[in-house]
Amino acid sequence: MRAILRRLYPSAKFPVARYPVARPFSTQREPRQASSFWTITFTLAIVGGGAWLQDKYYNPKPIPKAVLQQPTQQSFLGVIDTLATMPAEPAPGTVGNLTPEQEVKLKEFWVLALKVFGLTLEELEAPAQPTSDAAPAQDKKKAKGRWAIWGKGDDDDTKSTSSDATSVSIAAEDDKYGQSKEYKQALEDMKPEEIRTAFWSMVKGDNPDSLLLRFLRARKWDTKKALVMLISTMRWRLLEMHVDDDIMFNGEEMALKQSQGTDAKEKKKGDDFLTQMRLGKSFLHGVDRAGRPICVVRVRLHKAGDQDNEGLERFTVYTIETARLLLAPPVETATIVFDMTDFGVANMDYAPVKFMIKCFEANYPESLGTVLIHKAPWLFSSIWSIIKGWLDPVVAAKVHFTKNRQDLEKFIHPNQIMKELEGDEDWEYKYVEVGENENPKMADKETRDTLMAERQQLAKEIQDVTIEWIRASFKKETAAASAAEEKRNELVEKLRSQYWVLDPYVRARSLYDRLNIVQGGGKIDFYPDAAK
């Protein structure tokens, strides 16, 4: 990375740094069918649902020349000072950049979530909420004297009148994926403690506030709609896709074992999965001018119909969860370069599109910054007209068409554009095979159980101090609120650090671990050799 930065900014000095990212943890299950890497990322790039593409608060704008020519700014919290154009401030509506009204919404959301987790909370006094643009117009009215947690609340289109959590719902016209039903089903299928555990599993190495804020932004700061979306997602992760206890737990090593087995069906699953990885139909490499990780998709390497829908859905989740490894605060979104060189009709897959729209709109909100469709041929115009019709106009606006190197340079520095894309970077994708016994700690169930119990205890402490923080804030006990917030921040950092101790016991190593891009302790470096 130092070498790259010296080429970018010869007069500047750049310390080598690593930054924390998020990973999953789980218990073991048998994997589902593997799938096409390109198809998944292609769909991600084009229809990444409102969730990835619908990043309302990180809308890329034309970059002033002065910014493009500046050396590295001081990094946020000192964690990404190797990124030449890292934003100096977190995006609006994210941790570290909340308005007072948005912070109130975050606290309200915590109370709702903690109630679903099974905590018995006394009513908390809340101040009258001032009008702001943190919520839709129908929400801009003075709050009642107390928190209307489950009763008649602050949302005109939420008709819950019971103290029972199942009464929280979304108006049919605003419930595209039937999440009200899924939410109620989650409360029936899962005990409060299971929901609580699933939430902290989903947090991984993130700040839990960051996770909640993603759902709040996606639902335009409507806390009840965000709650329905959050709980529905946890049910989907735990009971439908088995994200942490199967997909990420088993990873590439299981695919290799399947490919070497004698069972024809299992062997095909493993072969299909590894074929995508070995060809490099899609891969993660480098960052754009905003410090966002880049996913490059080589469309020409894929042929439609090679995998069934179940396999595609499985690999969709694997791809997204792997991309999460490369995100770090204040960066919360990714960029996809969709290389359509030599694209033909045979390369196009519609089957996974609807799944992907639902997946990213409902389960991975606020995670994609921009999509670059590069060198699209004329025949793609009819395909795009169909796909665009499925997207909200705000979502479609996140997609940009680029024709040449100059267009790409608006988003990515030429030294981080591969020669394959007519850039200056002399780098090419190479798959490193799974090593022999590269996941030894995952067999140590005793240590894993101990670490997971330790994590849940930390989570409980965060919950307790979160309640104190909220209570003191709304009673305007400034000193107590500040003390609780400080303690809370310390515990969140402990949770982040503890996750990386747990990680090798719950997540199979990936290509990016073998390349030493994802390093120990939650550090990442796209150019580990250059850093040396």
Domain ranges in the chain are: 37-61+166-439
pLDDT at 144 over 80: no
Domain 37-61+166-439 class, CATH top level: alpha beta
pTM, 2 dp: 0.77
pLDDT of residue 82: 37
pLDDT tens for residues 160-216? 333 456 567 778 878 878 889 999 999 999 999 999 999 999 999 899 999 999 999
Q: Cβ–Cβ contacts within 10 Å for residue 302, how many?
A: 25
pLDDT at 255 over 60: yes
pLDDT tens for residues 116-139? 999 877 655 444 444 444 544 444
Taken in order 451, 453, 457, 458, the sign of the CA dihedral is: positive
Taken in order 433, 344, 357, 522, the sign of the CA dihedral is: positive
Triad 296, 217, 397: Cα angle to 5°:
50
pLDDT at 269 over 50: yes
Decide: helix, strand or coil at residue 15.
coil
Region 478-503: what's the mean pLDDT? 96
Buried (b) or exposed (e) across 88-105, using 16+ Cβ within 10 A?
Answer: eebbebbbeebeebbebb
pLDDT of residue 524: 86
Q: What share of the chain is helix, strand, coil (3-state, %, to 5)?
A: 50, 5, 40
pLDDT at 58 over 60: no
- Nearest to residue 46, comparing CAs of 398, 421, 417? 398
Confidence of residue 40 (pLDDT cuts 50, 70, 90): very low
Tokens coding 363: 């389960």
C-beta of residue 42 within 8 angstroms of C-beta of residue 297: yes
- DSSP letter string, 34-64: ---HHHHHHHHHHH-HHHHH--TT----PPP
Confidence of residue 388 (pLDDT cuts 50, 70, 90): confident
Tokens coding 41: 């990322």
Q: What is the mean pLDDT of the chain?
A: 77
pLDDT at 459 over 90: yes
Confidence of residue 98 (pLDDT cuts 50, 70, 90): very high
Bridge partner list, 338: 297, 373
